[in-house]
Amino acid sequence: MCRSTLGHAFDSARLAARLMKRERLVVRSGGRRGLFDLTGACERFVSGEGDGLLSVFVPHATAGVVVMELGAGSDTDLEAALDRLLPRDDRYRHRHGSPGHGADHVLPLLAPPSVTVPVVDGRLALGTWQSIALLDPNADNDERSVLLGFIPG
Amino acid sequence: MCRSTLGHAFDSARLAARLMKRERLVVRSGGRRGLFDLTGACERFVSGEGDGLLSVFVPHATAGVVVMELGAGSDTDLEAALDRLLPRDDRYRHRHGSPGHGADHVLPLLAPPSVTVPVVDGRLALGTWQSIALLDPNADNDERSVLLGFIPG
Amino acid sequence: MCRSTLGHAFDSARLAARLMKRERLVVRSGGRRGLFDLTGACERFVSGEGDGLLSVFVPHATAGVVVMELGAGSDTDLEAALDRLLPRDDRYRHRHGSPGHGADHVLPLLAPPSVTVPVVDGRLALGTWQSIALLDPNADNDERSVLLGFIPG
């Protein structure tokens, strides 16, 4: 009876479900600059969970996360805007790697490495045209990591 | 006695309070571009809660969330800066809707659709001059949704 | 035996650890504009915790948070980019304080006041070159607050 009282108050599986779930994605950019779609991986990560918050975090100083429409020209438009706002020339103090790499280190002024997306019943609460993308302006890396965390609510 | 031991360890109401609370706001922009104050709605949403995190998320590819001072000229300044940084001309590949709409799809490079605000004892921990606002540069919609989520901590 | 069953299902210390931990940092900027490293304070704040999310929030309308490499020239590069993108001239409607202060109120278009960083086993999951910094372009204040919150997961 003591056990069943416990079971009534909460069940341990449910409590367990409150632990943060974590995963490290590896994005093979092949040294290509640009936007890399993470939406499918994020959807799979939260699938089967309930409600909560998805944290997407890029542990790199020269990459960010953006939530935007992909695949209808805006990818190219965003990359062009980035190169216009942060020109890849020799104005930067920080100089190493490829020409213009100093600009990559200023990216966090515009695109942060972190975004939080609500999850409802195991599904990302994204709008119809929203995708989650890694923005990697830096061609000096072949591979990038992205950390996913799900906080059940 | 078993029950009272349980009650001592935690109480079920408190555990229940740990579930994420959710709400969908509808902002009637009436096809007007600009900033829309969400602060009052966010305050009401967390009122009566304890400590935790408020997640504000805009499920639209052409709108964002900013936390800023409203009502003392900076609204207009921010809108002017946006139009200067992302000019509403025909440079964009993504073309549909009103002239300059391609710029709206690049907005996520600057203003993300998500912000997280700490909540202390049912009150937003905003600074004196901070408001939470929807930034909608896109006049092609009459109505926007904003998703609020409160994760108790 | 009832107690030991309880202890098996969860322990109250662990449950207690699920409460949000909070701290207010005071950054003495001495009226200096620029970037102020918060990484050490954030590390100390989450040290000894388990997994979860760190929320860093700046309760000021004219300051933001950035996650970037510090100390290798990029600090200066980012400040120069900010002054180029949001020039400190008299174009702004919002005018008070030091010359160019109107630009500070537009900062939230670029750098939000909030970032969320995953914590794994009491350590920030930052990349090798990432630091968490307060970005304060406003020289009119001697002191700034930063709110840290840790949501255990």
| Cβ <8 Å between B6 and A1 | no
Mean pLDDT score, A104-116: 98
- Give the class (CATH, top level) of A18-152: mainly beta
Of all residues in chain C, the percent with pLDDT exceeding 90 is 76
Identify which of A14-18, A97-101, B36-40, B70-74 has the greatest average pLDDT.
Answer: B36-40
- Residues of C near A (Cβ–Cβ under 8 Å) read 1-2, 5-6, 9-10, 18, 51-53, 66-69, 72-74, 76-78, 80-82, 85, 110-112, 115-118, 120, 125-127, 129-130, 135, 151-153
| Closest by CA position to C70, among listed A108, A114, A56, A142 | A108
Tell me how crowded residue B61 is: count the other CB atoms within 10 A of its CB: 23
Mean pLDDT score, A90-96: 88
* B92 in Cβ contact with B102 (< 8 Å): yes
Give the type of residue at C71.
G
In C, which residues are within 8 Å of B135 by CB distance? 109
Q: How far apart are CA C68 and CA C148, in angstroms?
A: 18
Q: How far apart are CA C22 and CA C35, in angstroms?
A: 23
Q: What is the pLDDT of residue A30?
A: 87
B8 has a pLDDT exceeding 80: no
Of all residues in chain C, the percent with pLDDT exceeding 70 is 88
| Cβ <8 Å between C59 and B126 | yes
Residue from the list A5, A68, A125 with its beta carbon closest to the beta carbon of B6: A5
Of all residues in chain B, the percent with pLDDT exceeding 90 is 76
| Cβ <8 Å between A109 and C82 | yes
Confidence of residue C39 (pLDDT cuts 50, 70, 90): very high
Q: What is the pLDDT of residue B1?
A: 31
Q: What is the pLDDT of residue B18?
A: 61
* Mean pLDDT computed over every residue of chain A: 89
* Residue C32 tokens, joined: 């200096």
| Cβ <8 Å between C74 and A93 | yes
Looking at the complex, report in whole angstroms how far the Cα of residue B92 sits from the nearest Cα belonging to chain A.
6
Q: How far apart are CA A5 and CA B7, in angstroms?
A: 11
Mutate to test the interface with B, among C114, C119, C147 (most CBs of B within 10 A): C114
Q: What is the DSSP string of A61-112?
A: TT-EEEEE--SSSHHHHHHHHHHHHS--SS--S---SSTTHHHHTTGGGTS-
Mean pLDDT score, C115-127: 97
Q: What is the pLDDT of residue B14?
A: 42
Give start and end residues of each alpha helix (H) in B17-148. Answer: 39-46, 74-85, 101-104
Confidence of residue B133 (pLDDT cuts 50, 70, 90): very high
Tell me how crowded residue C80 is: count the other CB atoms within 10 A of its CB: 14
Q: Which range (A6-10, A104-108, A135-139, C122-126) has the least confidence?
A: A6-10
Residue in A with minimal Cα distance to B64: A67
Tell me how crowded residue C104 is: count the other CB atoms within 10 A of its CB: 28
* Domain boundary assignment for chain A: 18-152
| Cβ <8 Å between C60 and B10 | no
Q: What is the pLDDT of residue C69?
A: 97
Mean pLDDT score, C105-126: 98
Q: What is the pLDDT of residue C96?
A: 79
pLDDT tens digits for range A34-85: 999 999 999 999 999 999 999 999 999 999 999 999 998 999 999 999 999 9
- Looking at per-residue confidence, does A6 or A75 come out higher? A75
Query: Which residues lie below 8 Å from residue C40, measured CB to CB, with a gap of 6+?
Result: none
In A, which residues are within 8 Å of C1 by CB distance? 2
Confidence of residue B105 (pLDDT cuts 50, 70, 90): very high
Confidence of residue A13 (pLDDT cuts 50, 70, 90): very low
User: What is the pTM for the complete model shown?
Assistant: 0.90
Q: What is the pLDDT of residue B30?
A: 87
* Residue B82 tokens, joined: 């946006």
Q: CA dist B6 to B12, B152, C58, Å?
A: 9, 21, 39
ipTM for the complex shown: 0.89
Mean pLDDT score, A93-120: 93
Q: How far apart are CA B66 and CA B56, in angstroms?
A: 10
Backbone dihedral angles phi then psi of residue C39, each to the nearest 5 degrees: -60, -45
Give start and end residues of each alpha helix (H) in C17-140. Answer: 39-46, 74-85, 101-104
* Three-class SS of B65-88: EEEECCCCCHHHHHHHHHHHHCCC
Residue in B with minimal Cα distance to A1: B2
Q: What is the DSSP string of A3-46?
A: HHHHHHH--HHHHHHTSPEEEEEEEE-TT--EEEE-HHHHHHHH
Looking at the complex, report in whole angstroms how far the Cα of residue B74 sits from the nearest Cα belonging to chain A.
19
* Residue B43 tokens, joined: 């305050």
Mean pLDDT score, B62-81: 96
